[in-house]
Structure formats: structure tokens, C-alpha cells
A and B are shown apart, each in its own frame.
Chain A
Amino acid sequence: MNSHEDFNDLFLPERIDEQITYLASIRDAQRKGISGAPTVAALQNIYKDDEGILERAWARIIEADSQPPRETMTIVPIDQNQGAGTMQESEIFAGGTISPERTRYGQPAKRIRHRVWSVLGLVAAVTIVLVNIFAWGSLRQTHQNAPNNKISGNKVTPIPMGKQLCSFSGLAQGLYVSWSAQGKLAISSPGDLEIINASNCVPILTYRQTVENAPHTMLTFRGLDASWSPDGQRLVVAGAGASILDAKTGKVLLRYYPGNNMWYGVHSTEVYTSAWSPDGKYIASIVDTDVYHLHAERLSVQIWDASSGKLIRTLVTGLWNGVYDTLAWSPDGRYIAVGEARTGGDPFHQINSIYADTVYIWKASSGQLVVRFNPLTINSHQVKIDAHLPPNEQIAWSPDSKFLATASQDVVQGWDIMTGKELYSFNAKRTVPGITSLTWSPDGRYLAMAGYLNVRLWNVHTRKFGYTYVIGNNMIVTGVSWSPNSTMLATMEQNVIDHNASATLRIWGTA
């Protein structure tokens, strides 16, 4: 056995090449007994593995590049000092950000078929647009009468549980979905936001993030996490900074940057997710004030004014840079809750051996921290925590703001906010594996949980699972949103195997 000092001087500068060559030649079975051999073998395996990935990835890149470009490839360079005042939107979008169809990588055999389909698709698209224009007038007439009642009117026509009302498959990649009080849906794919009429799944408006509407911003190439203002008139769209959009025109009313850090003339900040105060005056956001700072604990929670874009206060800094962190403003407006999950610990020895989830609740008016707790450590099931899973802490308020539901590592828990007591908890590893979304129905009856296998409705009153929506083969649900009257659910599904298959938005009944 070596002493610990040996660890500092085994590899010698003067003999390093020979040592590596010798240690690399040692066979598997003998490695354990020879100092340095396991490390050299591990490094060889890591780099061999990586070289394989690099070769395959390169082959795919040039394969994708050999396909005919669908849009102009020339763009005007960004003026570092002036932003991009003179650029045409289409040019910027073509070069600067990513249009969904250009991210697809076709297989060689599919390429010719693709060209034929492109032409056919164009003809079909023009036809559909024309038909829609003609149909639109009459549809609008019709919807003013009956079907709108299903969505936003006072009369509620129940749609049977699981029955599909309509669907939309226009996005190449679908990520978020959010239902407005006005019966509209905002759905998003990287760099692109689509507003859809929820009663018939017909698109109304498209918003694309460009250098023009997001100046001094590195176009994010990221799904635009959008959330409706309570009155359904505006949308807050997260990206490199946040934008407030007029939902009718798609115009940017305001931009908010969470910090002043700039990198090469663009903001090096990100807004990950945002929530409106119920009165529509303020927005709370989880933000990254310096994307290029590699330290992991760099997220903050900020409250800002939705009409002036001014920072009101920072609730917390130093949150773990977990991409699953969630934020929710209580429906009564009094509290802001954030779910944080972190992995790691000692960066050298114990990495990935720690998994901790934390829920914070602040008083919105004063910014005072009301409570901070770790749901998984309190759970009565003593679930074995898997530190290798990506950090994920989902939270959802009950409509009366008295309870908070949390989900992390597939453990779903309910909390009484006044007493801090756990009301219920169950392990959903077998029933809804891989929960990535937890949403409370506005009538308080159900918790909708989406995982990689299904979407399940859990009845909060009976504490039993109700309806199960089984996702198709190779599909995943990337977003879930309730209709304001709780009679319908919108789900965004995406094929994870076939990159050419488009994402599908479905609206189905829950009555």
C-alpha cells in the first residue's frame, strides 16, 4: 500500500512519457495492484469514448450541412456598439438564431424525399393558409356563439375526461405551454413562440426572438418560457433577459435584464422562469446574472415592476444553477415560493454524491423569508435518493394558497403552509416515473403530474389517482397547462427518437 505522499510524486516530469506508455500497457486484471495504472486506463477510456463521439458528431454536422439551405445564409454582422439597428428581421433570424426546421438532421436516404416533401409541404402550407383565411371569418362567427363557452365564458360545457378537443402539430420542437384567461395558449420552441386559439387549436400569432426585438442580447437558442399576465393581455417571455409582449400584436412592450454584466457587447444574463403577481403589477423571476461565471451557485430570485422594468428587490442570491428550479407566486398574491434542487458537494471527491432539494417561501410584500425546508429529508417514505438524477424540484400552489405541492425524485408531497406539516406524500416512481411537471387544477381538485411515460391526474380530495393519459411510444410530454375553468388540460408532446417528427399540442377534457 502506498503512503499518501506517493500520490504527489508518482508521475515524474523527467520520465512522464515512459511512465504513461508503461502504465497504459498493463492489462485489466493487473491494474489494481499497480499505482497509476487505473488512472491512466480511466483517462484512456474517457478520451477514447470522447473521440468516438467527436467523429460521429462531425459526420452528422456535415451531413446536415449538405442539405439544401431553406433560408438565406447571409447575415449582416452585429454592430458591436450599435446593436443591430439596420438588420432585417428575417436575415437576423436566419443567421443569428435557430429556426426549428434547420435543427433537424435528416438521414442520407431521406434527403431526396425531403426535397419532394418540402415542395409538397410548401404547396400544402399555402393551401392551408388560404383555406384558413376563408374559413376564419365563418369560424369566428361560429365560435362567438357556442364553443367559446367551453373556454372562457361563464357557461361551462364539460368535455369528457380524456376526450381530445383539438390538436396542433405546427412546431418542430415543442417545449412550454401556458393557458391564458382569454382562452389562448402560448406554446414555444427554441427562439419561437406561437399563440394558439385554445378552442380550435388554430394559430393566431407568431413571435420570434431577434436581435431587433431583443437588442444587445445573445439570441438564446432556448425555449422561450412564456407566462400569461393574469388578465391574458400580456406575456412575459424569458430568454437572455425577459420581454413583456402585447399578446394581441406580439410587440415587445418592455425588456428586463437582471444585471449589468455584458460580454462582447451583449448581456451575459439569463432569465430562466418568471411568474406574475396575481394583480399583474409585478413579476418574479429566477435569473442568472452572469452566465459566463462558472461558479455553480449564481442564480438569484428577483421581483421587478412589470410596467417600468425596475428591479424592486432581490429575494435571494447564490441559488444552485439547477435548470429545474421552479418558481410560483401564490394565487392570493402574498407569497412567492421557489423550489431549488442541487447535486454535488465536494467538487473533487464527492461530486454527485449529494442531492438536496429546498423550498423557500417569501412574503411578497416585504421580501421576508417565511420558511425554508427540505422536502425529501422530511418525507415519510425514506426514499433512496439518487444523486445522479438531474436536480429537479417542482412546486405548485393550491388555488386557495394554503397548500403547496412539491415533487422531487418522484416523491410527491403536500404541505400545509400555515403549520409547516406534511399532509401527504407518496412515491410516484412506478406510477408517474420521471415527473417533470406538477400543476394544480384551478378548482383545486387535481394535481396533474407529467412524466416520461404518462400524464396522471391525482385527486387531492380522495388522494387517489384518477385518469391516466398514456403517452405514445417514444413520445414525452414537455409541458402541461390547465384551462382556467379546470375542464381541460393542454399537453405538449414531442417525439424523442424521430427528429423529423413535429411536436404536438393536444387539448383534452378532464370533466
Chain B
Amino acid sequence: MHQSRHPVSTEESPVAVLYQRHAHLLLAYIRPRVSSKEDAEDLLVEVFLIAMRSEVPLRLSESEQLTWLRHVAHNKIIDRYRHIGRLPAFSSLDEVAETLFADDELTPESQALRNGDYAQLRNYLASLPQFHQEVLWLRFAKGLSTKEIARRLAKSDNAIRMLLSRTLNRLRSLYELHQEGEQTHE
């Protein structure tokens, strides 16, 4: 089976199509649920390898495919958390030992750093309706204009503009209001 290295063309294998359609949405689902981007990458690979070797996704509609992929990811996350969950991204015993003797005060900060500053924002993004997520992804990951997004998703330019501006206003109030509130108190 021939496959290109980039999942951009639609003339490819079923798994490439599946990846192109759903990988970013699945990643948005996985990312807030794991502690590092390495974990997220591992899980994404595991889920698509299962998908590749299963006939199930081919018989499902697009939205059902995503639900199925989320179920598989959900199970994989459970396995990881139940047994490996609290393992930090250390590669050797020495690194672990270093942390053990580090100041207790540092732990939450370093944890936050590992999770990235956007944990809250990612959580919110993952909770958005699928269509909203698609629009944001096409705008910010693919750099498309509202016209191009509208064409791609078969909606009017106006509808995309409305949705994008509303979503961004909401995201801004979540992300910036909290910070400004803190500054006002100081």
C-alpha cells in the first residue's frame, strides 16, 4: 500500500483519509487529558494503528468515526493513567532523583510548565462543538481566510465570520478577563 508522508492528499489510503479528517479533532480530545505532548503523540499513534488494522471505521459515517476513535482513545488513556499516569516525562533514574531532592515549592510550577500554560484554554477548545473546532483549526492551524473556510465547509462566508468572531470573543473573555481581574486586584 502506497502512502505519502503527508496526510494532505485525498487520493490516498483509507487511514490517510481518516487521519486527515479526524486526527486534529482527536488530538484536541486527547491533549487536555494527558500530561505531556509526548503522551498525546503516543496515544494518537496507538489509536490510528488500531484504526488502520480494524475494518470498523470504514463502515461508519464521518461523525461515527470520530466517536469510535474517541472511544478507543478513551480506553488507551485509561490504560495509561491507571498504570503510568503519574509517571513524569523523565528518561532516567538520575533525573527522577534530582527532582526528589528539589524544593517542594517547585513541583506545581514545573508541573504547570510541563502541561503548558494553555491547559484551561485547551480544555475549553476540546469542549466546543465539532464545527467550531473545525473553523478554529482551519483559521489558526491552516491559516485560511473566512472565505476559504466557508468554501471548505460549505457554509456562507457570513456564517463563518459570525461564528469565528463569537467564538473568539468568548475565548478572549475566558483567557484574558481572568488575567485582567487579577491585575486589577493588585
Q: Which residues of A contact B (CB under 8 A)?
A: 1-2, 4, 7-14, 16-17, 20, 35-36, 38-40, 42-62, 64-65, 73, 75, 77-78, 94-96, 98, 102-103, 105, 175, 190, 218, 220-223, 263-264, 268, 270, 272, 291-292, 323-324, 347-349, 351-352, 384, 386, 388-390, 392, 429-430, 433-436, 451-453, 473-474, 476, 478-479, 494, 496-497
- For A46, the chain B residues whose CB sits under 8 A away are 118, 121-122, 125, 140
In Å, the complex CA distance between A352 and B107 comes to 15
- For A272, the chain B residues whose CB sits under 8 A away are 78
Q: Which residues of B contact A (CB under 8 A)?
A: 1, 3, 5-7, 15, 19, 23-24, 27-28, 31, 35, 37, 40-41, 44-46, 48-50, 52-56, 59-60, 64, 67-68, 70-72, 74-79, 81-88, 91-93, 96, 100-101, 104, 107-108, 111-112, 115-125, 127, 136-137, 139-141, 145-146, 158, 161-162, 164-166, 168-169, 171-180, 184
Query: In this complex, what residue of A is CB-closest to B105?
Result: A384
Q: Which of A43, A59, A384 is the one whose CB lies under 8 Å from B136?
A: A43
Q: Which of A94, A223, A291, A435 is the one whose CB lies under 8 Å from B83?
A: A223
- For A8, the chain B residues whose CB sits under 8 A away are 169, 173
B127 shortest CB reach to chain A, Å: 7
- For A95, the chain B residues whose CB sits under 8 A away are 53-55
Whether the Cβ atoms of B71 and A292 lie closer than 8 Å is yes
Whether the Cβ atoms of A98 and B175 lie closer than 8 Å is no
Whether the Cβ atoms of A348 and B41 lie closer than 8 Å is no
Query: In this complex, what residue of A is CB-closest to B94?
Result: A473
Whether the Cβ atoms of B85 and A392 lie closer than 8 Å is yes
- For A175, the chain B residues whose CB sits under 8 A away are 79, 82-83
Whether the Cβ atoms of B180 and A2 lie closer than 8 Å is yes
Whether the Cβ atoms of A75 and B55 lie closer than 8 Å is yes
In Å, the complex CA distance between A20 and B71 comes to 35
In Å, the complex CA distance between A474 and B52 comes to 29
Whether the Cβ atoms of A35 and B176 lie closer than 8 Å is yes
A214 shortest CB reach to chain B, Å: 14
Whether the Cβ atoms of B28 and A50 lie closer than 8 Å is yes
In Å, the complex CA distance between A75 and B161 comes to 45
* 5 intermolecular pairs with C-beta atoms under 8 Å apart: A8-B169, A46-B118, A49-B37, A384-B108, A388-B115
> Given A386-B107, A478-B83, do A39 and B54 touch, yes or no (CB 8 Å)?
no
In Å, the complex CA distance between A56 and B41 comes to 8
- For A222, the chain B residues whose CB sits under 8 A away are 75-76, 78-79
Whether the Cβ atoms of B174 and A348 lie closer than 8 Å is yes
- For A190, the chain B residues whose CB sits under 8 A away are 79
> Given A65-B1, A77-B55, A390-B35, do A103 and B49 touch, yes or no (CB 8 Å)?
yes
In Å, the complex CA distance between A304 and B65 comes to 33
Whether the Cβ atoms of B93 and A16 lie closer than 8 Å is no
- For A44, the chain B residues whose CB sits under 8 A away are 140
Whether the Cβ atoms of B86 and A47 lie closer than 8 Å is no
Whether the Cβ atoms of B77 and A323 lie closer than 8 Å is yes
Query: In this complex, what residue of B is CB-closest to A71?
Result: B53
- For A324, the chain B residues whose CB sits under 8 A away are 81-82, 85
Whether the Cβ atoms of A221 and B118 lie closer than 8 Å is no
- For A57, the chain B residues whose CB sits under 8 A away are 23, 41, 44-45, 48
